Amino acid sequence: MLNIKTTALPLLIALAASPMAIAEFYLGGKLGNVEWEDGNQAESFDFLVGYQFSEFWAGEVAYTHLGDFDTQQFNTKIEGASYSLVGLLPLDDTFTLKASVGYFDYSVDLTNRGQNFLEAQDGDFIYSLGVNMYLADNTTLSLEYRAIPLHFDLHYKNSSNSSNLQNQSETADNLCLGINLYF
């Protein structure tokens, strides 16, 4: 498996050293709705730190929470850190198209009556398309669609306290509204 934590830092340093660097840090947040392929829905949110290297490239690191939702037996929570490279295409002084590819390092926790029943930790690539609208020199509003395919192994304990393994795949569609403040 690609160890994104050890490869992301050199990539960010190389992009920052590019001659086109405009060196703008930004902080942001996103709120959205997640619809999982099994029909569950949840609210999502992100807190992010970004660095715009040039007019066309940025990098982001975020805490990503893909929701808490209940099924008949379990409460499910999916959250983790995401690392993304963002491509930007300015259309005019107000709108910029954006696309990103990232790596989501996440955990899945299923609880039953407050007891941790199933858990998984894994990582997968995520993809997004969106548009930024500049509200002021240091503020953008964004609308973004993310495709989130997750593949993980759930570890659960049975009544004899031994661990079993269940391979699981879930895909989610995430539509979110965000705001970024540039420094």
Q: How confident is the model at residue 21 (pLDDT cuts 50, 70, 90)?
A: very low
Domain count, the chain: 1
Q: Is the pLDDT of residue 104 over 50?
A: yes
Question: Residue 44 is part of a domain; what is its CATH number?
Answer: 2.40.160.20
Helix (H) or strand (E) holding 103, with range, is strand 95-112
Q: What is the pLDDT of residue 1?
A: 45
User: Per the confidence metrics, is the pTM higher than 0.85?
Assistant: no
- Adjacent-strand bridge partners of 167: 153
Q: What is the pLDDT of residue 11?
A: 54
What is the DSSP code string of 114-158? TEEEEEEEEEEEEEEEEEEEEEETTEEEEEEEEEEEEEEEEEEE-
Q: Can you tell me the mean pLDDT for 100-108?
A: 94
Q: How confident is the model at residue 19 (pLDDT cuts 50, 70, 90)?
A: very low
State what percent of residues in the chain have pLDDT above 70.
79
Condensed to tens digits (0 to 9), the pLDDT of residues 48-85 reads 999 999 999 999 999 999 988 777 677 888 999 999 99
Range of the domain at 8: 4-182
